[in-house]
Amino acid sequence: MASTIIDISKYKMELLSDIYKNPTIVEAIDSQQTEVTPEEPDTLMYRNLFPYMRVPNVQNKADTYILLSVDIDRVNRNNRAYARYRSTIWVMAGLDRMQMPEKYSATRIDYIAEELTRMFHGVHKFGFSEFELLSSNEVLLNVNYLYRELVFRCNDLRQPVALF
């Protein structure tokens, strides 16, 4: 019986594409290193949006980042046609980038995390079950950066699962 390995990269790029196409998030990132036009929001890729967990070089100008990992949390042993995915999103900002204009009434990482939660929680796009927010935690990474970690889960039936 032939089976294929689940394409985690595809999931990451789908999530990141949704993120950079959201003008509210692009505006809130307010990149200090990249000029972003409404026609080309994907210019944030590999500058402010990463399909892996990357700690920015703190010698550079402090900025705002969204980092993403996708993991297979569990494979159904009786029916290998689906797996449970866990997607972790870090919304990271330098301490001097945390404050947003008064009209937002939130820190930058909280504001972006709330928008990401509105975008993804309860959505069926990524599997046959709802994309479910499991946790949202604020973490001090180091003396220069804070991040909010969002963990989502969903089950997927898109492809057969190959056990390694």
Architecture of the domain whose range is 8-31+40-156? 2-Layer Sandwich (3.30)
d(CA 155, CA 45): 27
For the chain, 164 residues long, give each residue's pLDDT as a single digit of tens.
333 445 788 888 989 999 999 999 999 998 777 777 667 778 888 889 999 997 766 556 788 999 999 888 766 666 655 677 889 999 999 999 999 988 889 999 999 999 999 999 988 776 667 889 999 999 998 888 999 999 998 877 555 444 44
Domain range annotation of the chain: 8-31+40-156
d(CA 20, CA 155): 24
